[in-house]
Chain A
Amino acid sequence: MLVRLNVNGEWREAEAWPGASLLSMLRDDLGLWGSKNGCEQGECGSCSVWFDRELVCACLVLAAQADGRHVETVESLAAAGSLHPVQRAFLDAGAVQCGFCTPGLEVAVADLLQRDPDPTEETIREALSGNLCRCTGYQKILDAVHLAADRMEQGTP
């Protein structure tokens, strides 16, 4: 079936199997490899995207359900050719090791900071509870969130 959706501001379409996930459509049909396939069961968050502005696991949305809808992927973060403050903070804080969890985490962090520019430690942990990282032990990720929040508040990149 033909699925037509707005991805990162652009209307795209692809032929999708009716049982296919939005994640597989993004990766296999639209060439957007930023969203990762870590588990296909909603556990790891590496496929996190915005679906009509809500943070979701792309592996748990049927591609067909996204017909006519708006999706923003991790690729939208650095849209202007320069890194998003969250991405910069991840690099500067050393929150990236193998990098597999990073796209999903960055989307989740950007989502959090849109809603709460100055989150408490507890709020951050809760907001990131759906994103697994097997490398960093999370401390540097928490540091990156604080760094991004501070910089975004001060308007520095």
Chain B
Amino acid sequence: MEFFQPSSLREALELRADHPEAVPIAGGTDLMVELNFGRRRPGAILDISRLPELQRIGREGDRVVLGPGVPYARIIRELPDQVALVQAARTVGSPQIRNRGTVGGNLGTASPAGDALPALAVYDAEVVLASTSGSRRLSWRDFLVGPKRNALAPDELIVSVEWTAPRGPGSFSKVGTRNAMVIAIAGMGLQLDESSRSLRLAMGSVGPTILRAPEAETFGAGVLDEAGAWSNPGAAVSATALARFGELAAAAARPIDDVRGTAAYRRHACAVLARRALAWALDDRRLRAA
């Protein structure tokens, strides 16, 4: 096994082009488990944890730019206004895991249970990939092509994750058997966008990859419209409408039975999580307006 430790992105991309068998390692919280248990024996490892180019984090105008190598602990500290992502980051593993694990690694692994992914989906985030021959920009949807499968080519690295900073409340919640250190049985991201008077809902662990719930989104935005709640955050939204929103979310799920939970339980969890997420967002807007 060979080991490469480039100190610049350029050098890393050249190594990637010359050694397509080399597996990148960032925080190592997914890859090390596979190495420790002998589930994977790559011909070479490419350490990308020292590339300053992958450590960017912050705003560029109305865009949020997140380097794939930034660990969750820094996201929590440095992007406090990106609430859905911060809440997702806070649920990842334990302090030890959050000090190392990265969004680049979450995208690289592309598990349907990756907690950062529903947040990226409600931001309609773009994933920027680069190789020695240039770069390309994919929507999160085109990047996450299936369970544990993504659109990364063997000579590419994820170099940035970017989205337009939303104006409006957002959240991430998940159901699991414990409060910490748990792989989600169902995960839910919600983002309200005051500018376009729309909302976006994304679900994890309930399908082959992250799923948006377009019918719930249209219905939810319509409910706020009818109640006049977009302009008047104090306007009441009925419990029936919230429940219907949850049902539509559950209907968009494509869950399976597995060791963590049954499909029926997952569907139920989606309905509850979506309903609560919208109720929280409405409360949030009321409090802000008051």
Contacts and interface: CB of A to CB of B under 8 A. Distances in A.
Partners in one complex: yes
Interface of A: 1, 17-19, 21, 40-43, 45, 48, 54-57, 59-62, 64-65, 67, 108, 111, 126-127, 129-131
B96 interface: yes
Interface residues of B, number: 29
A134 B60 CA distance: 48
Contacts of B45: 18-19, 62, 64
Nearest to A40: B36
Interface stretch (B24-32, B123-131, B260-268): B24-32
Contact of A43 (B5, B44, B181): B181
B99 interface: yes
B97 interface: yes
Contacts of A65: 5, 25, 28, 47, 49
A45 B94 contact: yes
Nearest to A111: B95
B100 A130 contact: no
Given A18-B3, A42-B33, A45-B94, 18 more contacts: A1-B3, A19-B1, A21-B32, A42-B32, A42-B93, A48-B96, A54-B99, A55-B96, A55-B99, A57-B96, A57-B97, A59-B32, A60-B96, A65-B49, A108-B95, A130-B95, A130-B96, A131-B94
A61 B32 contact: yes
Contacts, number: 91
A65 B51 CA distance: 12
A41 to B, nearest CB: 5
Contacts of A108: 95-96
Contacts of A18: 1-3, 44-45
Q: What are the 3 closest A-B residue pairs judged by CB atoms, nearest first?
A: A130-B94, A129-B180, A18-B3
B47 A55 contact: no
13 contacts: A40-B33, A42-B96, A54-B73, A54-B100, A55-B96, A56-B99, A60-B29, A64-B5, A64-B45, A65-B5, A67-B5, A129-B95, A129-B179
B138 interface: no
A77 B156 CA distance: 43
A132 B246 CA distance: 36
B94 A62 contact: no
Nearest to B94: A130
Contact of A56 (B33, B44, B47, B96): B96
Given A19-B41, A65-B47, A129-B181, A42 B29 contact: yes
Nearest to B36: A40
A141 to B, nearest CB: 15
Given A60-B100, A61-B28, A130 B93 contact: yes
Interface string B87-130: 00000011111011000000000000000000000000000000
Contact of B36 (A21, A48, A54): A21
Nearest to B49: A65
A126 B37 CA distance: 28
B41 to A, nearest CB: 7
B41 A130 contact: no
Contacts of B25: 62, 65
Given A21-B36, A40-B36, A130 B97 contact: yes
A45 B27 CA distance: 16
Interface string B62-99: 00000000000100000000000000000001111101
